[in-house]
C-alpha cells in the first residue's frame, strides 16, 4: 500500500470540525421553476411506440378471433313481400260491447293497429303451425344474432347452437287454410311453441311506406327458402284473418243492433213516463222550461232593492256617526247637513239683517233706545232658536238611520226568501233538463241504429273481400345480407387498437420510474447533469446477483475503455457538468447515491473518478457502501481495511489510502469489513472529520 505524505493530522479546533457537511459537498446552484409543463404530442407518441408490440399483439389476437367467428357464422338471407291495407269506409257505431266494430274511416289509430297486428304472438303462432316450423330443428339455430358483440360472447362463452329435438317441440297439429284458429291448443302446447314464436318475431320487420297504404314485410333466416315461405305465409294468414274478422263482425253487429233497437224503444217509453211523473212532483208546468225567466227577473229586482237599501243605510249611518263624533257645540256647526240646513240659513240671514239694523240705529241713538232694545230681544230669541236647530237636525239624522236599517233588513229578508224559491225551482228545472237530454239522446241513438242496420245489409257483400291484399309476393333471395363480416372485423380492429393504446397509457400511468431528463425536472425539480446510456449487456452485468465479480474483469472501467464509445462520451459530459455546476470553483465533495440497489452507483463513481483523474486533478474515491461494497472489486484492490476501520478507531487515514496503478493521482479508500451498525457509523462525528480532512487534501 502506497503512503500519501500530503495527508495532515486532523485539526484540533472544534470550530473547523463543526462546519456543516453541506458546505463540503458544495451543491450545484441550478434551480428549477417547478412548473409542470403540459405533455407534448411526442410524449404520447413515445408511450405508444414503447409498447407497440403489446398493442400489435392485442390487435392481432382480438381481430383474429372476431374474424374466425365471423366466418364461422352462417350467411343470413332476407325475403320480403308487399301488402296493401285499406281503411274501412263504413262501420257500425261502437257501443263498448264485445263484437262491436269501431268507426275507422280516416282514423289515424287504425293504421297503427294493423301494423301491430302483424307483429302479434297469435299471428306468429299461426304461421309456425301452418309451415310446421315447430318440427324443424334448423329454424331456431339459424336465427341467432350475428353482431360483433354476439360473436365475442360466443367466443368467450363457447356458445354453440342448441339443436331442437322433436321431443322438445312436441307433437303439434299443422293448421290448414280452413283452420286458422289456434284456440284449441293446450297450455302445454302453447308453452312449447313460445321459442319458435320469439325467434320468428325477433327476425321479423314491418316497414310501412310513407304516404301510401303499402306495408313491406321482411324476414331474415339462414335458409333462403324458409325466409321466403315465412313472409308469404304471414301475408296470407293476415289477409285470411282480416276476412274472417269482417264476416264475423258484420253478422254479430246485425244481431246486436236488433237487440239494442228493442232495448232503446223500451227505455225511451220508460223515460218519458218518468219525466211526466217528475214534473208533477216538482210542480213544474207542462211545457218547455216554464217560469225560468220570471224567477230570474224577480231575483234580480230583489237584489237591486237590497243593494239600494244597503247603500241608503250606509249613507245615513255615516252621517249620524259623524255628528256624534263632533263632541262640543262648536263642532256641530261643522257637520255638512247642519251647514246646508235651510232653517239654519234662514235664522243666520235674519240675525245678520237685525244686526245691520241695530248698527244703523246706534249711529244716531243709544242702546237704551226702544227700537234698539226691541232688536236686541229679537236677536236673543233668534240665537236661542239657532242653537237648538242642530240638535233637532241630529235627532232627525238618527231617525233616518233607524229607518234605513229597518228598510235594509226587510229587503234582505225578501231577497233571501226569493233566492231560496229560485234555487228550488232551478234544481227542479235542471232535473227536467236531464230527463229531456236523456230521452233525446236515446231517440237519436235509436235512429242511428235503424240507419246502420239498413246499411249492414247493403255493405255485407262489399266486406267479404276484406281490406288486405298482396301487392307483391316474396321470392327466394339469392344473395345474403349478413353477417357484416368486413364491418365487424374493421370494428374489432379499431376497438382492439383503442384498447391497446388505452392499456399502454394505463401501464405508463402506473409506471412511476424516471425515464428522461424531462421526468427528472418535472417530478423532482432537480437539474440533470448527464444521461448515461445503459446497453443490455451492461445492464445485465450491473444487475446480476453475483456478490463479487472477477477481479480480472473490470466491469465499470470497461465502459470507458473505448474513448469513442457513447458511454465514455456520456461520462465526459458528466465530468464537464460537475466541474461547471458551482460558481467560483469546482465541487470538492461529490456524493453518489440512490434509493434502490443495483442502479449503477458504483459504476458512476468509478467512471467519474477516472474521468476527473484524467484531467490531472487529485481524486479520492471513498466507498461508503457498508452493505454491498464493490468499489474495491472494480479497481482490483483488497478490502481488508477501509472506512469502517477508521470510523471504529482501528486505523488512521494515511493507512487506508490506496493508489490506482494506471492513474497515480487517483486514490481509493475502500469500505472495509461490513459492520452490523452501518447507519450509526456513517452518522458519527468521525465520519464528518474524515470528510473534512479529505476535502482539504484532495481536489475532488
**pLDDT tens digits along 67-111:** 898 888 888 898 999 998 887 655 444 444 444 444 445 677 888
**Residue found under cell 303462432:** 125
**pLDDT tens digits along 185-196:** 788 888 888 888
Residues facing residue 220 across a β-bridge: 78
- Distance, CA of 487 to CA of 699 (rounded, Å): 72
In this structure, what is the dihedral angle of CA atoms 439, 440, 446, 450, given to the nearest 10 degrees? 160
- Beta-strand relationship, 468-472 and 214-221: unpaired
Other beta carbons within 10 angstroms of residue 452's beta carbon come to: 20
Q: Which residue has better confidence, 305 or 336? A: 305
pLDDT of residue 5: 45
H-assigned helices in 106-147? 108-117, 121-131, 137-141
Q: Which of 205-219, 415-429, 465-479 has the highest mean pLDDT?
A: 205-219
Residue 676: which pLDDT band, with cuts at 50, 70 and 90? confident
**pLDDT tens digits along 455-483:** 776 666 655 567 888 888 889 888 888 88
Q: Which residue has better confidence, 380 or 111? A: 111
pLDDT of residue 61: 94
Residue 139: which pLDDT band, with cuts at 50, 70 and 90? confident
Contact call for residues 506 and 53 (beta carbons, < 8 A): no
Enter the C-alpha cell of residue 105.
274511416
Mean pLDDT of 28-44: 56
pLDDT of residue 498: 93
For 50, counting Cβ atoms within 10 Å of its Cβ (0-12 exposed, 13-18 middle, 19+ buried), the class is: middle
**pLDDT tens digits along 306-358:** 677 777 777 766 666 666 655 445 555 556 655 555 666 676 677 777 777 77
Enter the C-alpha cell of residue 232.
308469404
The backbone region for 673, taken as left when phi is positive above 0, alpha when psi lies in -120 to 50, beta otherwise, is: beta
358-to-348, 367, 368, 372, 377 alpha-carbon distances in Å: 15, 9, 12, 6, 11
Could you list the beta-strand ranges (E) of 170-300.
204-208, 214-221
Residue 59: which pLDDT band, with cuts at 50, 70 and 90? very high
Say if residue 553's pLDDT is above 50: no
Say if residue 494's pLDDT is above 90: yes
pLDDT of residue 267: 87
Q: What architecture is the 14-30+527-697 domain classified under in CATH? A: 3-Layer(aba) Sandwich (3.40)
Considering Cα of 435, then 438, then 443, then 444, what sign does the dihedral take? Answer: positive
In this structure, what is the dihedral angle of CA atoms 176, 180, 181, 184, given to the nearest 10 degrees? 10
- For the ranges 144-148, 404-408, 428-432, the lowest mean pLDDT is seen at 144-148
Mean pLDDT of the chain: 74
Q: Which of 49-63, 105-119, 544-558, 653-667 has the highest mean pLDDT?
A: 49-63
Mean pLDDT of 132-142: 75
Q: Which residue has better confidence, 422 or 267? A: 267
**pLDDT tens digits along 384-410:** 666 666 666 666 666 777 777 777 777
Residue 8: which pLDDT band, with cuts at 50, 70 and 90? very low
pLDDT of residue 89: 56
Mean pLDDT of 5-32: 43
Choose among 43, 39, 47, 42: nearest CA to 501. Answer: 47
Amino acid at each position: 500500500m502506497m503512503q500519501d505524505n500530503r495527508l495532515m493530522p486532523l485539526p484540533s479546533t472544534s470550530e473547523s470540525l463543526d462546519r456543516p457537511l453541506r458546505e463540503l459537498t458544495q451543491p450545484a446552484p441550478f434551480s428549477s421553476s417547478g412548473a409542470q409543463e403540459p405533455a407534448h404530442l411526442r410524449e404520447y407518441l413515445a408511450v405508444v411506440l414503447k409498447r407497440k408490440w403489446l398493442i400489435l399483439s392485442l390487435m392481432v389476437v382480438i381481430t383474429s378471433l372476431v374474424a374466425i367467428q365471423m366466418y364461422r357464422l352462417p350467411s343470413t338471407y332476407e325475403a320480403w313481400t308487399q301488402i296493401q291495407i285499406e281503411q274501412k269506409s263504413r262501420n257500425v257505431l261502437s257501443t263498448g260491447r264485445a263484437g262491436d266494430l269501431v268507426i275507422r274511416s280516416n282514423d289515424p289509430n287504425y293504421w297503427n293497429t294493423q301494423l301491430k297486428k302483424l307483429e302479434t304472438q297469435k299471428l306468429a303462432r299461426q304461421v309456425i303451425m301452418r309451415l310446421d316450423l315447430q318440427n324443424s330443428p334448423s329454424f331456431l339455430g339459424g336465427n341467432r344474432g350475428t353482431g360483433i358483440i354476439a360473436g365475442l360472447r360466443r367466443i368467450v362463452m363457447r356458445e354453440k347452437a342448441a339443436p331442437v329435438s322433436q321431443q322438445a317441440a312436441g307433437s303439434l297439429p299443422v293448421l290448414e287454410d280452413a283452420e286458422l284458429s289456434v284456440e284449441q291448443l293446450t297450455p302445454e302446447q302453447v308453452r312449447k311453441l313460445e321459442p319458435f314464436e320469439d325467434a320468428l318475431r325477433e327476425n321479423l320487420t314491418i316497414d310501412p311506406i310513407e304516404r301510401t297504404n303499402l306495408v313491406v314485410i321482411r324476414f331474415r333466416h339462414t335458409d333462403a327458402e324458409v325466409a321466403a315461405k315465412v313472409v308469404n305465409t304471414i301475408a296470407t294468414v293476415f289477409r285470411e284473418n282480416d276476412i274472417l274478422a269482417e264476416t264475423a263482425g258484420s253478422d254479430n253487429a246485425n244481431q246486436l243492433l236488433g237487440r239494442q233497437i228493442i232495448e232503446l224503444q223500451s227505455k225511451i217509453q220508460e223515460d218519458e213516463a218518468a219525466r211526466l211523473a217528475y214534473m208533477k212532483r216538482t210542480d213544474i208546468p207542462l211545457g218547455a222550461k216554464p217560469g225560468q225567466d220570471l224567477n230570474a227577473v224577480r231575483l234580480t229586482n230583489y237584489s237591486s232593492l237590497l243593494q239600494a237599501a244597503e247603500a241608503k243605510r250606509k249613507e245615513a249611518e255615516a252621517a249620524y256617526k259623524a255628528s256624534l263624533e263632533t263632541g262640543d257645540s262648536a263642532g256641530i256647526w261643522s257637520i255638512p247637513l247642519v251647514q246646508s240646513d235651510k232653517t239654519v240659513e234662514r235664522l243666520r240671514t235674519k240675525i245678520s239683517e237685525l244686526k245691520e239694523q241695530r248698527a244703523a240705529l246706534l249711529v244716531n241713538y243709544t242702546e237704551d233706545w226702544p227700537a234698539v232694545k226691541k232688536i236686541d230681544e229679537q236677536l236673543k230669541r233668534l240665537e236661542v232658536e239657532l242653537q237648538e236647530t242642530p240638535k233637532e237636525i241630529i235627532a232627525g239624522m238618527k231617525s233616518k238611520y233607524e229607518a234605513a236599517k229597518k228598510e235594509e233588513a226587510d229587503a234582505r229578508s225578501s231577497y233571501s226568501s226569493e233566492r231560496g224559491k229560485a234555487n228550488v225551482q232551478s234544481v227542479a228545472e235542471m232535473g227536467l233538463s236531464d230527463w229531456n237530454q236523456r230521452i233525446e239522446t236515446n231517440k237519436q241513438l235509436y235512429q242511428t241504429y235503424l240507419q246502420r242496420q239498413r246499411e249492414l245489409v247493403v255493405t255485407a257483400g262489399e266486406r267479404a273481400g276484406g281490406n288486405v291484399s298482396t301487392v307483391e309476393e316474396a321470392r327466394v333471395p339469392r344473395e345474403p345480407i349478413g353477417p357484416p363480416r368486413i364491418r365487424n372485423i374493421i370494428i374489432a380492429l379499431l376497438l382492439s387498437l383503442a384498447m391497446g393504446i388505452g392499456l399502454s397509457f394505463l401501464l405508463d400511468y402506473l409506471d412511476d420510474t424516471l425515464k428522461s431528463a424531462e421526468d427528472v425536472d418535472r417530478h423532482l425539480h432537480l437539474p440533470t447533469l448527464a444521461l448515461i446510456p445503459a446497453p443490455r449487456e451492461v445492464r445485465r452485468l450491473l444487475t446480476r446477483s453475483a456478490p463479487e465479480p472477477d477481479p480480472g474483469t473490470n466491469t465499470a472501467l470497461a465502459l470507458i475503455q473505448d474513448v469513442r464509445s457513447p458511454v465514455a462520451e456520456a461520462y465526459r459530459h458528466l465530468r464537464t457538468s460537475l466541474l461547471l455546476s458551482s460558481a467560483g470553483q469546482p465541487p470538492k465533495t461529490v456524493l453518489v447515491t440512490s434509493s434502490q440497489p443495483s442502479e449503477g452507483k458504483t459504476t458512476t463513481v468509478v467512471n467519474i473518478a477516472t474521468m476527473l483523474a484524467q484531467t490531472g486533478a487529485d481524486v479520492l474515491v471513498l466507498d461508503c457502501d457498508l452493505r454491498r461494497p464493490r468499489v474495491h472489486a472494480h479497481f482490483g484492490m483488497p478490502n481488508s481495511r477501509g472506512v469502517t476501520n477508521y470510523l471504529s478507531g482501528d486505523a488512521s487515514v494515511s493507512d487506508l489510502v490506496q493508489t490506482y496503478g494506471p492513474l497515480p493521482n487517483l486514490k481509493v479508500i475502500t469500505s472495509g469489513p461490513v459492520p452490523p451498525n452501518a447507519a450509526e457509523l456513517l452518522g458519527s462525528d468521525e465520519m464528518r472529520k474524515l470528510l473534512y480532512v479529505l476535502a482539504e487534501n484532495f481536489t475532488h
